[in-house]
Amino acid sequence: MEAILKEINSVVGVTGSFVCLNDGSVVAQALPASFGADSVALAARVATQTFHALEISGRHIAETDLTFEQGRLILKNLRDGLLVIVCARNINLAFLNLTANVAARKIADELRAPIAAPTPEPLAPRAPEPEIVAPPSAPPSAPPVAPVVASAGFAELEDAWRQINGELEKGKLVARVMNSLAIWLSCPDARALLAPPDKKQLDFAARSNQRESIRRALERVGYQNNQSPDEFFNSPRLYFTNLSRGIFAEFYLDKFAMYHQFDLAPFLAQEGATLAATALALARLQLVEMPPLGLCELSALLLAHDTSPRAEPGKIDLSALARLCADDWGWYKTVTMNLQRVMAFAVKTLGADEKVVIVERAERIYQAIESAPKGFGWQARARVGESMRWYDLPPTAGTEQRPIEMRYGD
């Protein structure tokens, strides 16, 4: 477990980290020598008591951010305990979470893993040593999904999409599949990088003036909408479920909005079963907290679709990305951050040929964004920087998924 903590400590701005159980006992730590046992124990008690108080109040959260005058504590809920990260106040949370969220899942798995009883020895018994517990053999990080498994998962989603799409076309409704399945369909030569999402879900871009017709079409193929009338007619998204197949369908109406938003109308006007490559790239580049699956999908898009200085079928439009990032510093911040992420991912994990293509195309996008002229408003926001949140919280995130910010000493 200490090895995992050291990975977190390698992030710039992290001072150290430790893991404690729900009773406040520290089970692993990677902290500088200046942190005495008493101060670590006190921090563990503060962390566990904070989460306990929040749970009593009915707030089930995944993460808490405690900001003090001299530093910051990031607390991640492991269910059986807490991961506590000691860091600087001005740390780049997006970069930290790229490492910390993966580490938290590994540590949570270790905490939940049963510890095998030691094999009794025929000689004199030895006294147990409760402070030195032999760790269970740590499973390796999740291996890439075998192509046959990935194909099977996407085949089910593709079959469901064709059924829905056929019904939408009968009614001459405009809808384009997007996100994971669209990337699978539009990147046939890069499918070795892809794995189906954990949740069987189809995402579509559509027009809000067709929402009632969309509902009737989905109902004819077994999908139900459980939104209230007010939600259905006013929400920017429609949600459908096919209980017999366990498949969900979500429709983004007129605009795509998560951490950032962009207009879907220009892309809906373009022909094609899937949303254009530029829009598919934007939907991944806007992810502030980029999961490993997102990096794989963005890599596949860059590998399968070349860039172009203007809108061209099957290519990523540099002018569209540059314009969006020149108008909004928040978009600029997240997109350039993710371009750096995907280049680092490609260099570290992919073969020589794939690596060269992905890095070259990512650099082209980066250069187009950097060279685009920026206005006064953009420059003013850039001076504020990361001291103010530059992204939205995803509309579908509940309180249990949103970090709570508590500030002391400000």
- pLDDT score at 53: 66
The b/e string for 71-80 (b: 16+ C-beta within 10 A; e otherwise) is: ebbbbbbbee
- pLDDT score at 398: 35
Per-residue pLDDT of the chain (410 residues; tens, 9 = 90+): 888 999 898 888 899 999 999 888 999 999 988 888 888 888 888 777 777 766 655 555 778 777 776 788 888 988 888 999 998 888 888 778 888 888 888 898 888 876 444 455 454 444 444 343 333 333 343 333 334 445 668 999 999 999 999 999 999 999 999 999 999 999 999 999 998 787 899 999 999 999 999 999 999 999 999 899 999 999 999 999 999 999 999 999 999 999 999 999 999 999 899 999 999 999 999 999 999 999 999 999 999 999 999 999 999 999 999 999 999 999 999 999 999 999 999 999 999 899 999 999 999 999 999 999 999 999 999 999 999 999 998 865 333 333 434 433 33
| Residues 31, 19 contacting (CB under 8 angstroms) | no
Radius of gyration of the chain (CA): 24
Distance CA 265, CA 206 (A): 9
Structure tokens given for 89:
């106040």
Distance CA 76, CA 104 (A): 7
Strand segments (E) across 258-377: 261-263, 307-308, 316-317
The CA-CA-CA angle for residues 403, 331, 298, to 5°, reads: 85
Distance of CA 167 to the CA centre of its chain: 32
| Residues 40, 34 contacting (CB under 8 angstroms) | no
Domains of the chain from N-terminus onward = 2-113 (3.30.450.30), 147-387 (no CATH)
- pLDDT score at 71: 81
The per-residue DSSP string of 109-169 comes to HHHHSPPPPPPPPSSS-----TTSPPPPPPPPSPPPPPHHHHHHHHHHHHHHHHHHHHHHH
Q: What pTM does this model have?
A: 0.61
- pLDDT score at 137: 38
- pLDDT score at 46: 76
